[in-house]
Chain A
Amino acid sequence: MHELSIAQAIADVAERHAKGRRVVKIEVRVGHLRQVVPESLSFAFALLTPGTALDGCELQITHVPAVGCCRACGARSVLEDFPLRCGRCEGLDLDLIAGEELLVDALELEEEPTTGERVHRGSHV
């Protein structure tokens, strides 16, 4: 259920950066440990955006695996389930390197061409 709140937060970030331009695509990176269900996030996003500047915008969600570095043996492991544990020595004392992100990575925007481009294109019509 937190996907609705997260979808709204993503939409807010995109609208702020778009500054009135139409947003065609939003690329987000979501860490494994955020427990976001991609289908639910897409569904929530589709509910929120009709009638806004993001109407028809594609939401591209990239899942980022959780990675921990063991403080005991130094090994790096991909962490799937709890308890989060080192794949080499099974230690529980880990520095999380990845897996907690909730990032708006990039936006694809539709822009009016600059004046020069408009003249150039106009000459071909």
Chain B
Amino acid sequence: MHRIKVRVVEDALDANNTIARANREDFDRAGVTVINLMSAPGAGKTALLERALADLGDVRVAVLEGDVEGSLDAERLASLHVPVVQLNTSAGFGGECHLDANMVRSALSALPLAGIDLLIIENVGNLVCPAEFRVGEDVRAMVCSVAEGEDKPLKYPLMFRACELAVVNKIDLIEHTDVDLDRLLANLQTVHPGIEHLICSARTGEGVDALRDWLIDKVAAAREGAGTRAGAGTVTPA
């Protein structure tokens, strides 16, 4: 036996990114805009979607619901009469704390891609790992609730830097917390200068119209982009 040294110089997440690009090509071919929605557990992703997806005009939406276990969120969203596909990471994926490109790929055949304009991928609740794994999305967005405290951008900068939108949820609770909203927004800009934000309450409906408009705008922007890049052979995740 002898030892040899082999130079590799490969991104550890290359395998995931390759599958993410394949997903993205399938989404683009079907003309579907994909949002990867992330947050800590309990920040209110599902509650916001229940509100925001109820009236998206002519935008046809489906949800890919990622959870470690169970289908509680999928059942909640099914009452909106939009297609919902449940992806459990405990079923064959080792109970992963995030979705990766391969898990999303495994669910593609269950999604009615030809009949939708917008796919929301509701990631597993976790402020860390989901930020590492592209799944083929156009846009990454996150929800942070005021109940989590104003310091979360500073503690989890990887997630806040990965997303182009932060939805500050549960604003109706702010008077019951010690959170200073201005400081929370300043912390957001500290880790990600220029990040968009929306102030919402899934409970009262405050700010949900703006979230709905943001989603509709993303679909419109993707349609315009598809017009200008018609015939493009390769598409890389943003």
Contacts and interface: CB of A to CB of B under 8 A. Distances in A.
B98 A13 contact: no
B14 interface: yes
Given A13-B15, A83-B190, A106 B4 contact: no
B42 to A, nearest CB: 17
Contact of A83 (B6, B7, B193): B193
Interface in A60-99: 82-83, 92-93
B12 interface: yes
Contacts of B14: 13
A102 interface: yes
A1 B128 contact: yes
A92 B193 CA distance: 8
B132 A110 contact: no
The interface centre, meaning the residue of A9, A14, A34, A113 with most chain B CB atoms within 10 A of its CB, is A9
A68 B151 CA distance: 24
A2 B132 contact: yes
A75 B119 CA distance: 42
A110 B3 contact: yes
B3 A13 contact: no
A105 B191 contact: no
Interface in B12-46: 12-16
Contacts of A10: 12
B158 interface: yes
B11 A33 contact: no
A39 interface: no
B8 A105 contact: yes
A9 B15 contact: yes
Interface string A98-125: 0001111111111111000100000000
Given A1-B128, A33-B158, A82-B154, A6 B2 contact: no
A44 to B, nearest CB: 12
B3 A5 contact: no
Nearest to A101: B11
A108 B5 CA distance: 4
A104 B10 contact: yes
Given A103-B12, A105-B7, 12 more contacts: A5-B98, A5-B129, A5-B133, A9-B12, A9-B15, A10-B12, A33-B158, A35-B158, A83-B193, A102-B13, A106-B6, A108-B6
5 contacts: A6-B132, A9-B12, A102-B11, A104-B9, A107-B6
Closest 4 CB pairs of A and B: A9-B12, A2-B129, A2-B128, A83-B190
